[in-house]
Amino acid sequence: MSATVENFIEKQRPRLLEELKTFLAIPSVSTLPEHQGDIERASEFVAEKLRAAGLERVERIRTAGHPLVYGEWLKAPGKPTVLCYGHYDVQPPDPLDEWITPPFAPSLRDGNLYARGAADDKGQMYIHLKAAEALRAVAGRLPVNLKFLIEGEEEIGGQAVDRYVCENPEKLACDVALVSDTEMFAPGLPTLCDGLRGLLYTELTATGAAQE
């Protein structure tokens, strides 16, 4: 990271932190219908911040489920294209009595920010977005072409994004996909994950004698 980018981040740190807190305070629980309005607010927040970071063709894409959010910056001819993936939905925060502070009231303690979604996946996705903002702010452009595809159904299976990816191969074409929704071995030790597992749902039916 260049000194100029570091200076930008330090100067903007209060704003960046408050924006993240605002994002984390939205209870965008994808599994519960009563949070549909919060899902909408979270997707609108992502779209707004993509535009503020200088991304173009930003859109909230309606699906049969929760909206996808897309944005791009393709002004680096001859350079690779990076597709950043993330999700703005979160799991329910139960059991609530296990929380020291309310799950949707972000709390900074001992240098860590605690809230539902801080580590899965709003925090990581926010880093991608703000990295693009910082690079454009200090250099006026990005070193690579960049696309964002952010979903709101990762916690419930991701059916909408799966269908959208299959139906839009040219739009989402890239040289590499960047996903920061995994784990780190230890604080301060970056971890590179080169593979992800999927989900397999099964139903077993056992039949036997009607009586002993």
Give percent of the chain above pLDDT 70: 97
| 107 within 8 A of 115, measured Cβ to Cβ | yes
- Does 160 reside within a domain? yes
Q: Is the pLDDT reported for residue 1 higher than 60? A: no
Q: Could you give the CA distance from residue 25 to residue 19 in angstroms, rounded to a whole number?
A: 10
- Does 198 reside within a domain? no
Q: Considering its fold, how many domains does the chain have in total? A: 1
Q: Could you tell me whether strands 112-114 and 107-109 are parallel, antiparallel, or unpaired per DSSP bridges?
A: antiparallel
pLDDT tens digits, one per residue of 149-184: 999 999 999 999 999 999 999 999 999 999 988 877
Structure tokens at 75: 């002004």
Q: Could you give the CA distance from residue 23 to residue 42 in angstroms, rounded to a whole number?
A: 7
- Does 154 reside within a domain? yes
* CATH assignment at residue 71: 3.40.630.10
| 129 within 8 A of 50, measured Cβ to Cβ | yes
Question: Structure pTM?
Answer: 0.88
- Does 201 reside within a domain? no
pLDDT tens digits, one per residue of 7-26: 999 999 999 999 999 999 99
How many other C-beta atoms are found inside a 10 Å radius of the C-beta of residue 40? 16
Indicate which residues carry an active-site annotation: 89, 154
- The domain of 87 spans 3-179
Please report, for residues 62, 91, 182, 187, the alpha-carbon distance to residue 190 in angstroms, rounded to integers and kept in the order given.
Answer: 35, 25, 11, 8
pLDDT tens digits, one per residue of 22-69: 999 999 999 999 999 999 999 999 999 999 999 999 999 999 999 999
Q: Could you give the CA distance from residue 122 to residue 87 in angstroms, rounded to a whole number?
A: 7
Q: Could you tell me whether strands 68-73 and 145-151 are parallel, antiparallel, or unpaired per DSSP bridges?
A: antiparallel
Q: Is the pLDDT reported for residue 195 higher than 80? A: no
Q: Is the pLDDT reported for residue 202 higher than 90? A: no
- Does 204 reside within a domain? no
Q: 209 pLDDT band (50/70/90 cuts)? A: confident
- Does 96 reside within a domain? yes
Residue at token pair 């549909």: 36
- Does 97 reside within a domain? yes
Strand partners, 69: 60, 150
- Does 19 reside within a domain? yes
Q: Is the pLDDT reported for residue 201 higher than 80? A: no
